[in-house]
Structure 1
């Protein structure tokens, strides 16, 4: 059975999900968000700066934008995991061509493991995460 860290309850009961993508995978994340727009619009969304801007402009989702990845947005999202403020993260990374300025998944992976927070790193696991949170 899929278990997901459910904090969403402390304040307003909303499920809170972070969305992050390396430059080469941003189009994939935008397509994913379009395909799951009705479900994502039910969630409180958090994203790194550029990804969040694209989600707002290209998909029309409401997003709490953090700093861009190179400026520490991924660390801000990690802090939300540490504070039990996130139910899950979708981090579409480019495992073959990640650029030095892009967020590193290592710290997020570690903090998610420590706090038992779901972290999806590809489209298949992102679908499971979004569908699992809906249940």
Structure 2
């Protein structure tokens, strides 16, 4: 399974905690992430992550391009709804691409946990929390 992981600045700590919580499952997936998020996941959660550009520099668009050709199976995008983002059009394009291509997209911790729990149930040797 190929999963894209993205987190706005005020959500990066939450993403690292989520990745640690589901490390057993995520460690068996192909992970791609935007720049800083990916670096933190590698350093703090010990996951192998392909790091793309940061979101404001085009990372969201890179992930959208991949998912539009079947290169991403799910997106976890922990968004900060309280802070204006300079690249809001890119964010909207990525979420729209998920809808157009029927790719699951979780945008908060509750939906991310639901998505990861469900996906981890379908994999052998799952160590995800119940």
- What is the CA-CA distance between 1:104 and the residue it aligns to? 4.4
CA distances 1:9-32 after superposition (whole Å, capped 9, x unpaired) = xxxxxx000000000000000011
TM-score, normalisation: structure 1: 0.85
* Structure 1: gaps spanning 5 or more residues: 1-14
Q: How many residues align?
A: 121
- Is 1:83 aligned to 2:69, yes or no? yes
- The residue that corresponds to 1:19 in the other structure is 5
| Partner Cα separation in structure 2 for residue 103 and residue 128 of structure 1 | 27
- What is the 5 A alignment of 1:91-102? 91-100=77-86
| Partner Cα separation in structure 1 for residue 12 and residue 2 of structure 2 | 20
Choose from 31, 54, 61 the match for 2:40: 54
- What is the 5 A alignment of 1:96-135? 96-100=82-86, 104-134=90-120, 135=122
Over 3 Å counting, the alpha-carbon distance change for 1:39 and 1:103 in structure 2 is: farther
- What is the CA-CA distance between 1:101 and the residue it aligns to? 5.3
- What is the CA-CA distance between 1:70 and the residue it aligns to? 1.3
- What is the CA-CA distance between 1:128 and the residue it aligns to? 1.4
Quote the RMSD (CA, aligned, Å): 1.4
| Partner Cα separation in structure 2 for residue 39 and residue 113 of structure 1 | 24
Give yes or no for contact 2:61–2:90 (8 Å, CA) kept in 1.
Answer: no
- Is 1:30 aligned to 2:16, yes or no? yes
More helix by share: 2
- What is the CA-CA distance between 1:102 and the residue it aligns to? 7.1
Write out the 4+ residue segments of structure 1 that deviate beyond 6 Å after TM superposition: none
